[in-house]
Structure formats: C-alpha cells, structure tokens
Structure 1
Amino acid sequence: MPEGWRYIAQRAAGRWAGTAEPILDWEVPLSLSSNPQRELSGPGALAGTIEPEYARMIGSDGQPILQDWGTKLYLEIEGVIRWGGLVTKTAFDGAKCTVNCEGFTAYPQGIPFEGYLISGALITPKDPYAGKDKNHDGWVDGKKGKQRVPDPPKPYGGPRIDTYDAFRSIWSHIQSRPNGNLGLTIDSHDSGELLGAKDGSDPWELAWWNNPDCGQALDSLARDMPFDWVESHSWSGGGNTISHRITLGKPRLGRKRTDLRFADGENILAIAKPEGMGDDFANEVVVLGTGEGKKMKRAQVYRSDNRLRRVATVTDKTLSSDSALRKRGEQELAGRTAALQIPAIQIVDHPNARLGSWSLGDDILVQVHVPWVGDVQVWHRIVADEISADGLVVLTLKRSDSFHY
C-alpha cells in the first residue's frame, strides 16, 4: 500500500441520527483491482482484494468486518478522505477475498418509496350550490326568479414543491426507515424550480401504489430539471467522526478553471483514444416544449454538413416561445456536431494542477497532440476522477459544449 494511504472500515448499521457507528479497522489490507472513482451525479466505485486471510476479518461485534451492505469503507490519503462508500459484494476464492464497493448514493437503487408526494395537484373546489337546482331550471330551489345558480368554482393548481425539497424528501424517507440511515446530509438551499404545472394541468406525483424506486426517482429529478450533485466524505471535528454530504448545484456544479493547466508533455501522461461523437452525433435537432398533443410547442434546427441526416429529440417543458425553443436546439446541435472529444486523460501531481485542486464538474482546457489531427485545445468537463496506487489520476471527460444550462 502506498505511503500515506489507508483503508478504514466502519460498521454500516443504518442507525438513527446521533448514534456513532464503530470503526472496525483502521488499516484494512486492501490491494486495488479497480481504482477508487468519484462521479458527477453518480455514486462512484472501488474494487480490491485481500490475500491471504487475516485475523482481523471478524469485528468486535462478532460480524465480518467486510460484509455486504454492512460495512462502510473509506480511502484516506495523507489525512484526507478521498473516497467513501459501501461494501456491496464480497467473493471468496481460497485465501483470496474480492471486495466490491459503491458510493453511498448507490443505496437508494431498489429501495421502494412507501410514501406519497404530489406537487401542483389539480384541485377542484366543492360547489356550494351542488344539488340545489333539482329541476335544472337554472334557479336555486325555492328562489326562482330571485337567485340564479352561479357557475361552479374553477379548478386550480395546488401547492408546488421545490425540486430540491422533493430530492431531500425522498432521501429523508430512505433514511427514516429502520436500518436505513446512512448519516447523509443534503444541502438545505432551494433550487427555485417548482415541480408540476402551475395550473394543475400536469402534476408531479410519487405514490407508493405505483411501486416507485427511490433511486430511479432521484435520478429522474436530477436529469429532468436538470441539476448536479456530488457525494463527499470528510473528517468532522477533532474526533473519529466522519461526515457524509450530498452537494447540490443548479444548473451545474463546478466552474471554468483558467487557473489550472492540463498539457501534453507537462502533466498529461496519456490520453484515451480521441473519438468523434458516434451515436451522439446529430446534425438536426427537434425541440418539444410546453403543451400537449397537437398544441405542443415545437422547433426544428439543422446544420447542412454534407453528411447523412441524424436527428436528436429534446423535450423541455419549460420552453414556450419560438426563440427559446430554437436557442435550446442550437445549443444541443453545437454539442452534437463537435469534431473531437478526449474521453479521458491520465495526469500526474504537478504544479500545473495539484492533486485535489479540481472539483467534479469543472471545465478544463485540454491541450494535446492528436495523430491525424495535430495540436488541439478543447474545453472539457470533468465528470469523474480516479486515483491509482502509484499516485496517477485519470480524469474522465466530456466536451463542455455538450452540456446545456
């Protein structure tokens, strides 16, 4: 194991907030088989092996230290927790134990939502004159010629929930169940975007009788609004307490990093094979906006480039004007007709960009030499990172212009 590295195991008992879960082992002898990866709006993963068997595999509570869905595992480098997650699968082959881990945010997948949430429900007020015109002559019974039956009250849209409140409510539901509390805290600010239509025509609903999956519901909220989130873990206070947090950002997390440099021959050691857009390529975009059926707002933009027609369809129910629809289409088109993308770069700790100086979601200028193309400088966004035992880091990238805010 590299100097300054250690793997820390903690019991994942899912206890109620305020109760500490014990540290089981401060020096788990894990050898990486897959580098610890952090993801933007994803749980990340880590895999490793332990060989041979060691005596500390059983904790003081009599349970295996590394237990499927029963252990939290952290990678600490030079006193900083660089990765945290849950042991999700173990396998044994003689004296060799294989350990697979995923971030805390993998936990909601497969957990049913057993409550009820609705935003922007269509509310039909009770008609105070219902049943008071039994002969259907338009007059209130007993008051003919004096009082006509008024029109019934019009339906209206009910209270709406902020997107982040819905995200937090689902997480609160997950962690309120017995043995379900991971100790995750979610940012408390609002997004400013309310779910459902204001007039009640298109309510957002999450109902237990539809058997919704909590993980899928969380993913849908982040994808449809959209917004970014990042899972992180850190030492809290001066003791042995580890805090767990989900940071929320709308429309995005990260920023353009003009203070960092990523250049071939300096701190970039290798690049993944540059590639075109492939299945993501499109030279025509159809944008669908507000409305339903034939009344739905629609725009179509295209770029003539002497290539076969490829069409992408984008749905954004917040768009109603022709100019907004076309602008969204042009943005999508720009990201789908780009000539070149660098899927990943391998970098070394360097004055250009020190280890940990970037954040998931940041935009960085990648300066590399590409055979058949030449020297290129393209802005890319960091969507994942992973650190290896030799101190090298791989940044997974997507072109910055393929994102729309």
Structure 2
Amino acid sequence: MPKWRYIATRLNGDGTETFLNFNVPLSATEVNPVVNGHGGIKGTITPEIASLKTDDGEHLFVPWWTAIYAEEDGHIRGGGILKDYDDEAPKLQLDCIGHTGYLVDTRYTGTKSIERDDPLKVSRHLWDHTQTRPHFNLGIEFAGADKSRDMFIGDDSILPTQTPTKVTPYVLAYYQTHDLAKEFELLASLAPFEYTMTHEWNADKTAIRHILHYGYPRLGARRTDLRFVVGENVVEQPKFDIGGDTYASDVIVLGAGEGSKMMRAEDNDPAPRRLGRDAVIIDKTITTPTEAKKRAAAERKLLAGTADVTEIQVRQHPHAPLGSYSVGDDIRIETADGWSGIRSLWVKILGIQIRPESNVTTLQIMRAEKVSK
C-alpha cells in the first residue's frame, strides 16, 4: 500500500513558507488536481490534538496563512491554501483551495490598458503583479507554454484574424478590477489555453515548489500506453448521458448590453442530421463579439448530441497506476455493452479526485473531441 502523509506549512507572503507539521492526521481526505480550475484538498481531523497548535498556543490552522500538501511515497499529489474550516468538536473539517484560487477576490492595484497582446502573457502578468505586492508572494513559478497567440484583447470585430475598425482596450485598473481569478479565466478562454498547478520538492527536498503549468493549445497528451477497462481497472460501467439536452443545432450567445445593443453571436450547424434545436446562452460577463463567437462555437461543440460520460471510478492497476496519468491527458475507455452503444472512446481527464484511504480514484472526464483544440 502507498504511504501518504499530509504536510502543513505557513505561507510567509515573500515567496517562502515555513514547515509546521509533517504528519497532519487528516482523514476522509480528498485531493483534487484539475485543469482550468482551482481544485485543492479537503479533510477532517478528529479528535482535537494538542500538538496541532503552535508553541505559543495559537491555532495551527489559520485561513489564508496555512497550506496543506498531500504526499504519496515522496511525490506531492496536490496542495491547497486553507480557505475555511468548520470546528464542530471533536471534528475539525478543513477546506483548502488550490493555489490558483489565491487570485479570487485579489485586486489589481495599478492601471494598465491593453489593445493587442498575448492572453497567456497577460495572464502571467496578473501573477507577476500580485507577487510584487508585499505579503502577496506565493512563490509561483511558470512552466510549459510561454505564449499563445497575439490578438486584439479588446477586439470589437467578429473575427480575431480581421483588423478591427474600432478597438476597445482591455483595462486592468484599481477602480474596476477586483477579482484577478475572473480575469485569468477570461484570458484562458480568449486564447484559449489550459493550465494546472502542481507542487514538487526542490532538489534537496528542503522546500516545495509551486508550478503553474500552461498548455497551448492544450495540456497533456494522448496516452496510448495507458487504458481504462471496465472490469479491470474501471470499477463499474460508466453512466453515459444520451438525453436530448445534450443536443442543439443552433446556439446563440447573449452577452453584455440591453436590447438590440446586447452583445451576441451565433453558431449554427448548416446541415444537421436531426431536427433543428436552439440553445440560448446568457452570460453578461461577455463584452466583445470575439468572445461571444468563441463561446457560441464552444457551446455547439459541447451540444453535438453524442453520448458523453462525465465521471469514472478507477482502482490501482498496472494499466494506469496513480501518478502515470495527469489532468489534461487523453486516455481510451473500453466499456461493456450498454444502451449508448459505445464500446470504446477517448476521454480527456479534467480532474482527479484522490481519496488516499481508498483504492479507488474518481476522474472527472469528458469526451475528448468535445474539448480538443
């Protein structure tokens, strides 16, 4: 059986952290690395343990100060910053958000107006800006893709390949930019690029590195060396969604604005094999035609009407042991006969929910062609 331990640190805000405890007695633990999200760690401590306090009697677990990492046989599988805890004696339930979640409700303190730039580079600027502030430095490093594509960030035209007649600058400013996580997500959708946060020991294992991995146009790879097979490493037959809500031939996206001035874009199948069906997406955060058009195309791709699966449970097995696959990877599922008629398909791993006390890991997945770039 693999050996797990949970490590608590104190984030010092200057890019360093101090180790507090190397054996936090977490139980009912969930470790959740994800693509394009925050993930994190949840767990419970019971009963109250005196050693889980500082030398001066202060609580060891302090929101937005304490971080917890899950290590399996020397490999850090996930980490997070303590966001909330629920003290229901004798239990203490901890909820740690992944380090990318630190940007939630973090504001921009200067002003910057951008007309043309690379969204990926601008997203890195959000972290650079944040980490230059006193007490806001997590020590985040970058890896993977360092650029995506040059484009008009505030483009008023329909197609990003066209020269716009009018450009609305993309503005970061202290008086309006109050949640950098939302800005980061917007930039990721504009490129689009994928990202995930990982943690690993440094060379001499005296510190933990926090690495924000970028992928353009995607993270991960198609893994022909691994497989998920029902009856072998997949615990039970996956549940496929084959309902009518998974299909639309015509998608319209309505964004910011009112009435005829509302931001809008459509994406239509010119020759659907079924009856035409509409899907209306309303999202007031969409402020440019380019963004609306990209969203419409993405939504119609999701609404192709093909049977899909969102989750499977896998056990440790030589076909795909824990640690051999990562979020972002495509892996083939081989299933038994069912109503969907699917025996084999490629899926992309969007999230991994690890329960160290169980031999079963839950994977959040999606049909690969729906998210392929």
Q: Please tell me the TM-score bracket, short chain as reference.
A: 0.7 to 0.9
2:138 counterpart of 1:170:
no
Cα deviation for residue 193 of structure 1 reads 2.5
Instruction: For 1:5 and 1:399, locate their aligned partners in 2 and report how far apart those are by CA, in whole Å.
Output: 32
**Structure 1 segment 43-122 matched on structure 2, within 5 A:** 43-60=38-55, 62-120=57-115
2:183 counterpart of 1:226:
no
Asked if the contact 2:119–2:150 (Cα under 8 Å) also holds between the matched residues in 1, the reply is: yes
Match of 1:4 in 2: 3
Output the amino acid matched with 1:190.
Answer: K
Instruction: For 1:404 and 1:96, locate their aligned partners in 2 and report how far apart those are by CA, in whole Å.
Output: 43
Instruction: For 1:97 and 1:391, locate their aligned partners in 2 and report how far apart those are by CA, in whole Å.
Output: 24
Match of 2:242 in 1: 276
TM-score by length of 1: 0.78
Q: Deviations over 1:145-183 (max 9, x none)?
A: xxxxxxxxxxxxxxx332222111111222222221111
**Structure 1 segment 191-206 matched on structure 2, within 5 A:** 191-194=148-151, 195-197=153-155, 201-206=167-172
Instruction: For 1:214 and 1:108, locate their aligned partners in 2 and report how far apart those are by CA, in whole Å.
Output: 5
Unaligned runs of 5+ in 2: 156-162, 255-259
2:208 counterpart of 1:213:
no
Instruction: For 2:209 and 2:338, locate their aligned partners in 1 and report how far apart those are by CA, in whole Å.
Output: 46
Instruction: For 1:250 and 1:37, locate their aligned partners in 2 and report how far apart those are by CA, in whole Å.
Output: 22
Match of 2:136 in 1: 180
2:147 counterpart of 1:190:
yes
Match of 1:129 in 2: none
Unaligned runs of 5+ in 1: 121-159
Q: Deviations over 1:241-295 (max 9, x none)?
A: 100010111111112122211111121112452213654521224699xxx989x
* Corresponding pairs, count: 350
Match of 1:245 in 2: 211
- The equivalent position to 1:336 in structure 2, one of 292, 303, 310, is 303
- The equivalent position to 1:29 in structure 2, one of 21, 25, 29, is 25
Cα deviation for residue 210 of structure 1 reads 1.9
Higher Cα Rg, which structure: 1
SS at match of 2:123: helix
2:345 counterpart of 1:346:
no
Instruction: For 2:340 and 2:179, locate their aligned partners in 1 and report how far apart those are by CA, in whole Å.
Output: 46
Match of 2:327 in 1: 360
Instruction: For 1:25 and 1:115, locate their aligned partners in 2 and report how far apart those are by CA, in whole Å.
Output: 38
1:50–1:113 distance in 2 versus 1, CA, 3 Å? same
TM-score by length of 2: 0.84
Asked if the contact 1:116–1:206 (Cα under 8 Å) also holds between the matched residues in 2, the reply is: yes
1:168–1:285 distance in 2 versus 1, CA, 3 Å? same
Asked if the contact 2:120–2:188 (Cα under 8 Å) also holds between the matched residues in 1, the reply is: no
**Structure 1 segment 307-318 matched on structure 2, within 5 A:** 307=275, 309-311=277-279, 317=290
**Structure 1 segment 361-400 matched on structure 2, within 5 A:** 361-388=328-355, 389-400=357-368
Asked if the contact 1:332–1:404 (Cα under 8 Å) also holds between the matched residues in 2, the reply is: no
SS at match of 1:24: strand
SS at match of 2:92: strand
Cα deviation for residue 392 of structure 1 reads 1.8
Output the amino acid matched with 2:18.
Answer: P
Cα deviation for residue 303 of structure 1 reads 4.3
Instruction: For 1:186 and 1:60, locate their aligned partners in 2 and report how far apart those are by CA, in whole Å.
Output: 35
Output the amino acid matched with 1:174.
Answer: T
Asked if the contact 2:310–2:366 (Cα under 8 Å) also holds between the matched residues in 1, the reply is: yes
Q: Deviations over 1:109-149 (max 9, x none)?
A: 111212222222xxxxxxxxxxxxxxxxxxxxxxxxxxxxx
1:255–1:3 distance in 2 versus 1, CA, 3 Å? closer
Asked if the contact 2:222–2:330 (Cα under 8 Å) also holds between the matched residues in 1, the reply is: yes
Asked if the contact 2:248–2:305 (Cα under 8 Å) also holds between the matched residues in 1, the reply is: no
Output the amino acid matched with 1:352.
Answer: H
Cα deviation for residue 201 of structure 1 reads 2.1
